[in-house]
C-alpha cells in the first residue's frame, strides 16, 4: 500500500491497517534520497518535532504524532541483530535510531503506537543502474524474512 505524503492521511491509513488487517508485523519502506547504495534499518520512532509541512502544507497538531504518546517507541524487531546477521551482496546495510522528522518517522511512530511495537521501517535508496527494482526487491525480501523469523521466535 502506498501512503500519501500527508500526515493526517498517512496516520488514518496506518490506523486502518492495524484495526482491519491486524497483522503480525507491518513493514514500512521509505525513500532515503540522499543514500545512493545504502539500506537503513530504523530501530525506533519519535513522537515530537514534526515542524516540516507535508504535501498539503500542513504539519501535525503540537508538531507530534500522538498528543498523549511516549517520546519514542522501539520496534520489537531487534534491528541491531538484523544488521549484524543479514547481508545483501552489493549494498551496505546500516542501523539508525533516527528516521528523521517527516512522513517516514511520523508513519513509523504511528504504526509502532497502534501495533504495540510490532512495526519496522526500512529506508531504501532511489532506484539506479546499480540498485534496480529487482535487486531492491530481493534485498527487502531477505531482510523481511529475517524480521519474520524474529517474530516467530518472540511468539514461542
Q: Is the pLDDT of residue 94 over 70?
A: yes
Confidence at residue 88, expressed as pLDDT on a 0 to 100 scale: 87
Please indicate whether residue 104 is annotated as part of the active site.
Answer: yes
**Mean pLDDT across the stretch 21-50?**
92
Neighbours of 56 (CB within 10 A): 11
**Mean pLDDT across the stretch 82-99?**
91
Adjacent-strand bridge partners of 95: 41
Please indicate whether residue 89 is annotated as part of the active site.
Answer: no
Q: 28, 44, 123, 134: which is the annotated catalytic residue?
A: 123
Q: 74, 89, 104, 153: which is the annotated catalytic residue?
A: 104
Label the pairing between strands 92-96 and 38-42.
parallel
Confidence of residue 133 (pLDDT cuts 50, 70, 90): very high
Please indicate whether residue 64 is annotated as part of the active site.
Answer: no
Domains of the chain: 7-154 (3.40.630.20)
Q: Is the pLDDT of residue 138 over 70?
A: yes
CB–CB of 14/3 below 8 Å? yes
**Mean pLDDT across the stretch 28-47?**
90
What DSSP letter does each residue of 73-140 carry, written as one string?
Answer: EE-SS-HHHHHHH--BTTBEEEEES---SSHHHHHHHHHHHHTTT-EEEEEEPPP-SSS-HHHHHHHH
Task: Give the rounded percent of residues in the chain with a pLDDT score beyond 90.
Answer: 85
Confidence of residue 35 (pLDDT cuts 50, 70, 90): low
Q: 12, 15, 42, 156: which is the annotated catalytic residue?
A: 42
Confidence at residue 40, expressed as pLDDT on a 0 to 100 scale: 94
Separation of alpha carbons 10 and 121, rounded Å: 14
Amino acid at each position: 500500500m502506498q501512503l500519501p505524503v500527508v500526515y493526517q492521511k498517512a496516520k488514518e491509513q496506518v490506523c486502518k491497517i492495524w484495526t482491519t488487517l491486524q497483522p503480525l508485523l507491518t513493514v514500512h519502506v521509505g525513500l532515503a534520497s540522499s543514500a545512493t547504495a545504502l539500506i537503513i534499518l530504523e530501530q525506533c520512532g519519535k513522537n515530537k518535532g514534526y515542524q516540516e509541512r507535508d504535501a498539503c502544507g500542513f504539519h501535525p497538531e503540537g508538531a507530534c504524532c500522538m498528543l498523549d504518546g511516549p517520546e519514542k517507541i522501539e520496534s520489537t524487531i531487534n534491528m541491531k541483530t538484523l544488521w549484524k546477521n543479514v547481508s545483501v551482496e552489493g549494498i551496505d546495510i546500516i542501523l539508525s535510531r533516527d528516521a528523521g522528522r517527516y512522513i517516514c518517522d511520523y508513519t513509523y511512530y504511528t504504526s509502532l503506537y497502534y501495533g504495540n511495537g510490532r512495526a519496522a521501517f526500512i529506508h531504501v535508496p532511489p532506484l539506479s543502474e546499480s540498485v534496480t527494482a529487482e535487486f531492491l526487491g530481493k534485498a527487502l525480501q531477505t531482510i523481511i524474512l529475517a524480521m519474520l523469523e524474529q517474530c516467530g521466535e518472540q511468539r514461542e
